[in-house]
Chains A and B, each alone.
Chain A
């Protein structure tokens, strides 16, 4: 009885339960807001398939080959190892220092030896625990244990690289620390192997200032690294070590000026990139000679990493940053850092070797205003360079012209002492004509247009290699006069070469220009004469002849953008290297028109004539019935799709579009299962095998298309094993400069090599029902300031360099990738996903892309510049964030937007039905029904429980108060 009268008790219980009720109500809502993230993190299933009558059809639309976990693990391990074997590049091998003899006693130097770079951070991060260390992997040799312990747990163990204060630092041990271990060197003196490691990661570029490496630049040597290399060279001279070998364990090009210094004597150098989960074993394969290296550089390795126009601009900017704030950003206090920064791609088409080789040629040809340029002072190892333990001889080079392509054949013979593979590279030189000079069309002196890799050839064996070059590869984009693709009149030179520089020299020799004593082979050159200037053949889409190709990106070229105000920039031109090579930062200011264009939440068209779609109609259709088969094709534009889309409610459409964080949500009205999509380019997040692959530069360096297709299949098998049916990759952004923080996810500085890598990986992956999200569309070539930074670039670079890998990836006649991930940045003033020119005109109309486009991670930016209204209205289909059924309610009555939503859903449904293994096991008779997840049930339970408790305790408190009052009275 006293308990009932205790006001204190009931009041306390009421306050506590009401507080918990508040937490359950609002906290639960936060959980619902983030449901996609929670479900993805806990790997929760949000639906179940209710089986209908057995239709007798085979519903395993995509087959898995590796259902046994052990076999899958062995498969992923072998593919990773093979990738590294074929991708690592032998840069230098003086006096055949490599391979080492089995049983050699070796000393491993550098903190990288015990802290190898296997992977990176961000979307390509993978579980690297349990990966073998270098000492274990080098089983063919005896590793100096004293020195190993010195780095692992001794005096050098306190020196570790890292990113303190968001600055990449090396913190390498000084030579003075080595005193206690020097006595061990002579017993392990067959080779001193120095491991030079560098990290990278998502979210910021590699430090170009304030690092502890020389000049504050992370990709330069640390002073202690230089000192150790000098001391090793001295120890080699004194006979303590027989050889000095360098392993460059970095996904991006370290500046290699030191390799040419007189006091550093390195016999052999291998670029090994990031190693992935089993790549470390490939080092043993190559050092021991079990495998002859056959990788070829996918980037130019430089003696001066700021020597290219792109990197020079970077170096000239304040803080050596790729992006700058607009000069008058202070006048726009309402603008935040997603609106007030920009970067100019001053290089035009001259990215990587395109600059170095073209300027080299121009200097050699005596072109006016080529300026002072010393190729050898800038380039350490050219694009395509790579040595082998054997030698190959090319003969019988021939060209055959077909209607729309050329076929080249060459016999490749192994004339060396060991078996090996050869990467055959074919380059093209287009004529640089008066028309080009007059109209600002740029031409690289040489560009890669085809490559193939031989099989493993024994000594004396030969193989005939056929290379195919499409005639469309002769085109160039003229943004200023013809405003479409042109093919210039003149001679087109095709040349084989051991690298880009060698191929160019072969061409220059054939042209009678080369007079110096170079090793060239004029028999490896073929020419094609274009009789007349042609601006018609490639002026329309190759997949849609109705679609004209013309300037679409004047808005991203500040020199052409209508609202540029007083802004203008200078792009590099071979017509005037002296006058156009960057000499100062390109300073831009926000004009009145730019201020408007930068703003998000652009108004939607009202009353544009479109009618509101139908919602929630019961047509009895199921998504699986829309899966095309040869006998029953259901193309994207089949009118039946509209009947299916009529079944979706507005809320379902809103949820499907906005709730795309690592999934596409289930849609019960059309029986669409959820798909599970994951990072990333270098390995599947959450992989059961923990498989990860080397940095993508190593993939490209294999020059092996079949292997890249196998990697795609391998990633798909690994993904399917954990229920993942979409991968956010491959990454095909450019290695514009060496400092891009996410270059480990991208293939190369060369758009063609990158394009072919992406095409092959995509074909492999999608053959298994795993959809590739080729990313980041487009111009997300840097990381710092990536959120909303404005990229200004001209249309020739946009089409020929930046877009080409995407074009090849998406075109139905090439990679036919069915999804893309857009980028955080803007092109010009517009967020990429909010540009209909990019997302609709070029992507869909010109290239025939039949898939859907997801944004990059939108959870933190969806309310700033990655807005639903701007993206969906311009062709974006899906948001990589946590959405809801109510997320698009503000636009419920706008017919234009409602139809854009419907189209976005159509894209997602089309891809899921036709290309996703998520449809496996679902027949037309089955139904998808939603499941309540455990956390949703918990939230409901807590809300009800605390609601009831609050009400009850409040009532009891009232009763108690009444009784007490009565008692007192």
Chain B
């Protein structure tokens, strides 16, 4: 089993680099968003964003052991939920920037959180796409002596 995991990692090193990026950014969001997410337009932290990011990172970590594409795609879907939850939370802020004409512009914190979430999500997706599925590879036929 351990050999299979190692083999999986070895053969999918690029995929796991993407997954690593996804995990790192998802975990970063778990800390960065609660620290910077309370703004004039968002008086409370939306726990869904943290929860989905954490689940996404957790699934990403599991994918190191479970070499299925599907696991990484699940991480992507959770990342997508986190991203969409953030979009929902900030919709009035974004609307204000486009309609308010009061000088409010996109803050660095908003832009970074947005980028972290979207890059994490895409990293999991790319990791899944380029993953070679060694689990379903046929065992090579035994050599005849």
Contacts of B101 in A (CB 8 A): 166, 202-204
Contacts of A566 in B (CB 8 A): none
Is the beta-carbon distance between B133 and A7 smaller than 8 angstroms?
yes
B41's contact among A11, A19, A860, A957, by CB below 8 Å, is which? A860
Which secondary structure characterizes the binding site on chain B? helix
Residue of A nearest to B139 (CB): A968
Q: Is A15 part of the binding interface, using a Cβ–Cβ cutoff of 8 Å?
A: yes
**B101 to A: closest C-beta gap in Å:** 3
CA distance A280 to B139 in the complex (A): 86
B102's contact among A15, A33, A787, by CB below 8 Å, is which? A787
**A545 to B: closest C-beta gap in Å:** 43
Q: Is B7 part of the binding interface, using a Cβ–Cβ cutoff of 8 Å?
A: no
**A909 to B: closest C-beta gap in Å:** 28
Q: Is B138 part of the binding interface, using a Cβ–Cβ cutoff of 8 Å?
A: yes
**B102 to A: closest C-beta gap in Å:** 5
**A22 to B: closest C-beta gap in Å:** 5
Q: Is A640 part of the binding interface, using a Cβ–Cβ cutoff of 8 Å?
A: no
**Beyond A785-B102, A787-B102, A860-B100, is A22–B92 a contact (Cβ under 8 Å)?**
no
Residue interface bits B83-112, CB-to-A below 8 A is 1, else 0: 011011001110110011111100000000
Q: Is B73 part of the binding interface, using a Cβ–Cβ cutoff of 8 Å?
A: yes
CA distance A15 to B70 in the complex (A): 8
Is the beta-carbon distance between B102 and A863 smaller than 8 angstroms?
no
CA distance A29 to B136 in the complex (A): 39
Residue of A nearest to B39 (CB): A336
Residue of B nearest to A860 (CB): B96
Contacts of A336 in B (CB 8 A): 39-40
Q: Is A337 part of the binding interface, using a Cβ–Cβ cutoff of 8 Å?
A: yes
List residues of A (10-34) whose CB comes within 8 Å of B's CBs: 11, 14-15, 18-19, 22-23, 25-27, 29-30, 33-34
CA distance A862 to B104 in the complex (A): 15
Residue interface bits B60-72, CB-to-A below 8 A is 1, else 0: 0000000001100
B104's contact among A18, A23, A27, A337, by CB below 8 Å, is which? A337
Contacts of A19 in B (CB 8 A): 76-77, 80
Is the beta-carbon distance between B92 and A203 smaller than 8 angstroms?
no
Contacts of B87 in A (CB 8 A): 26, 30
Q: Is A658 part of the binding interface, using a Cβ–Cβ cutoff of 8 Å?
A: no
Contacts of B80 in A (CB 8 A): 19, 22-23
Which secondary structure characterizes the binding site on chain A? helix
Q: Is B16 part of the binding interface, using a Cβ–Cβ cutoff of 8 Å?
A: no
Contacts of B81 in A (CB 8 A): 22, 25-26
**A96 to B: closest C-beta gap in Å:** 46
Contacts of A786 in B (CB 8 A): 102
Contacts of A22 in B (CB 8 A): 77, 80-81, 84
List residues of A (175-224) whose CB comes within 8 Å of B's CBs: 202-204
Is the beta-carbon distance between B91 and A34 smaller than 8 angstroms?
yes
Is the beta-carbon distance between A968 and B102 smaller than 8 angstroms?
no
Q: Is A601 part of the binding interface, using a Cβ–Cβ cutoff of 8 Å?
A: yes
Residue of B nearest to A862 (CB): B92
Number of A-B contacts (CB under 8 A): 82
List residues of A (848-905) whose CB comes within 8 Å of B's CBs: 859-864
**A502 to B: closest C-beta gap in Å:** 41
CA distance A497 to B91 in the complex (A): 56
Is the beta-carbon distance between B88 and A29 smaller than 8 angstroms?
yes
Q: Is B36 part of the binding interface, using a Cβ–Cβ cutoff of 8 Å?
A: no
Contacts of A968 in B (CB 8 A): 136-139
Q: Is A965 part of the binding interface, using a Cβ–Cβ cutoff of 8 Å?
A: yes
Residue interface bits B28-48, CB-to-A below 8 A is 1, else 0: 000000000001111100000
Contacts of A859 in B (CB 8 A): 92, 95-96
Contacts of A964 in B (CB 8 A): 136
Q: Is A664 part of the binding interface, using a Cβ–Cβ cutoff of 8 Å?
A: no
Contacts of B88 in A (CB 8 A): 26, 29-30, 33
Residue of B nearest to A784 (CB): B102
**B18 to A: closest C-beta gap in Å:** 15
Contacts of B42 in A (CB 8 A): 863
CA distance A834 to B133 in the complex (A): 62
**Beyond A166-B101, A337-B102, is A11–B139 a contact (Cβ under 8 Å)?**
no
Residue of B nearest to A864 (CB): B40
Is the beta-carbon distance between A337 and B84 smaller than 8 angstroms?
no
**Beyond A7-B133, A14-B70, A26-B88, is A860–B77 a contact (Cβ under 8 Å)?**
no
Instruction: Give A residues with C-beta under 8 Å from B.
Output: 7, 11, 14-15, 18-19, 22-23, 25-27, 29-30, 33-34, 166, 202-204, 336-338, 601, 785-787, 859-864, 957, 961, 964-965, 968
Closest 3 CB pairs of A and B: A860-B96, A203-B101, A26-B84
Instruction: Give B residues with C-beta under 8 Å from A.
Output: 39-43, 69-70, 73, 76-77, 80-81, 84-85, 87-88, 91-93, 95-96, 99-104, 128, 133, 136-139
A-B contact pairs, 14 of them (CB 8 A): A15-B73, A19-B77, A22-B81, A26-B85, A30-B91, A203-B100, A203-B101, A204-B101, A336-B39, A338-B40, A861-B96, A863-B42, A968-B136, A968-B137
